[in-house]
Structure 1
Amino acid sequence: MTPPAKRPTGQDVARAAGVSRTLVSFVLNDRPGVSIPEETRRRVLEAAKSLNYRPHASARSLAAGRSDVVLLSVPDLPLGSGISRFIEELAASLAASGLTLVTHLAGAHGRPLPDVCASIDASAVIGLEPFDSDTAEALRKAGADVVIPSASGDTVSPTGLIGVLQAEHLVRSGHRRIGYALPAHPRFQTMAAERLQGVVRVCAETGLEPPVVVTTNLELQGAVSAVTQWVERSVTGVCAFNDETAIAVLAGLRQKGLSAPTDLAVVGADDIPTARLAIPPLTTVCFDLHESGKQRAEAVVAGLAGREPAHGFPPAVPRLVQRSSA
């Protein structure tokens, strides 16, 4: 068996270029304040390229005073198109500043986030929702110079604000008996509870009864059963956990010979690509994931440079996308 090829070292580059190992480090790390003749710099870069030399992460970290790794904590959920779009935008924005994004799927059976942060020497950690103060402090002790977003004092999470917007839209449209379509998938329960909290809050603030909560899946018969229960309890508007659940509700309405919004208004969440193709096109609530990714990348770059982001770091705020279903 042929032994694996030996990874080239900085000393190999120095030997090929006819310079010292220290000078190789100065050139490859673009060390400020060091004057190096252009011919020497060119020789080092050509030697590194010919040997396919890549510095170890630890060496880059030592030279820069920090690593170029940014850790993203992703909830242990089925990853839909919205989260995928956010990760793509965030990774591209960070890469433009020479930073590398590493994602970590958080969950009850995974390693604690601060341990992951320490093991990969992450300089920044990003969460999709605010970290509590204890977690933020543990991440900083693990080596993260920047933690985004840090603890929030808001009583409703950004996820819960989705439910607030859904319910407020239905109340403004004249609905006085509201339902909530809870997903059957067990891994969605925590997020669903936060979104439902927003709906419950609006109902309480406007003097309405609590929402009629019905669990449904993405099967037609389950959706028909849910619609039947809402109609029997005089519900006229439904907030669905997400767009897939909302589209299932629309299918259940059609199966019963009913329609949205005439018989039952339906509001989804996340604005997936197929939401506009639903029958009727789905009213939904979503975050601007592209802008959110860019803002977080800007905040990381600014934080690592020891300054505040140019435009601050506003919390993610959802928006209503009004179509025909509600």
Structure 2
Amino acid sequence: MSFSTGFLVKEPGMLSLIQDAGRFGSFNIGLTNGGPIDLQAFQWANRLCANELNATAIEISIGGLALIAQVDTTIAVTGANMSLSINHTNKDLWRSYAIKAGDLIELGFASEGIRSYLAVAGGFTIKESFGSTATVCREGVGGLVGDKLKKDNILPCASQRRKTNLVLPEQFRPRYCNDVVLRTVPSYQQKNFSSFQQRLFYSSDYTVSKSFDRMGYRLTGKKITGDIEGILSEGICQGAIQIPADGQPIVLLNDRQTIGGYPKIGAVISIDIAKLGQLKQGDKVRFEPISMEQAHNCFHLDLSYFNRKKLNVCD
């Protein structure tokens, strides 16, 4: 099924990308997973629209997106604190709204966090590329043409207005700050870092440098030194913390390369990636070691908590 109408991109913003939950099973051909940096906010946007959690939505980094609706539908915006307006009337985030054809939806620029998610009832109807609609610009795959949104793009979707609008109560919404602790599972390569270097790493504050994007966050702070500077290239997981020759950690994210040759002191657990991905230059990061078993417990507790949270019906 194809759609010739949906939303017209009036202003694309700084960096707006079509994303579903990600592209998996293609690492063997060099394609990374992509998908939303803040998976929690992405899933809440879809849940507020009564969608499947994997439904295709838009990730808006920094802000500035403006859309004109061409169908009657329902939308929701979650994530970073970006001002939202519909037909120049300010609206709250973390809830869904009925939209009519001709309505203007505008997002301002983020004041807390940097990434927001706009979902539409039924999801955007985008052709899959290698099993996913997730956009990875470096690889030129996903989205409309493997690139960020541009002015006058049409984002196709069906006319599916939901019967009720939903809101996530304020006490359940994440809080975005500029100082986070990232729980980290030590790597098998931690043996290449002395006990002193490991203690130094886990007791130091790091600052987000100007070099951060969807591939990864380069941090600045205490130099960490291992007994090797490189390894044979091997697969890299999301959240891997590489220690290059300059000793400044790099945390790899969704659009990372699939293999790499820097030693890794550990990996940030998946549910903490969202915290890192909402930071900007100058924000602070600390690392806290946890075991694999603790990481599993954190993941399942977080999933259970998400599933138990109830949405309220609103006008």
More helix by share: 1
RCO higher in 1 or 2 (8 Å CA, sep ≥ 6)? 2
User: Which band: TM-score by shorter chain?
Assistant: under 0.3
- For normalisation by structure 1, the TM-score amounts to 0.25
- For normalisation by structure 2, the TM-score amounts to 0.26
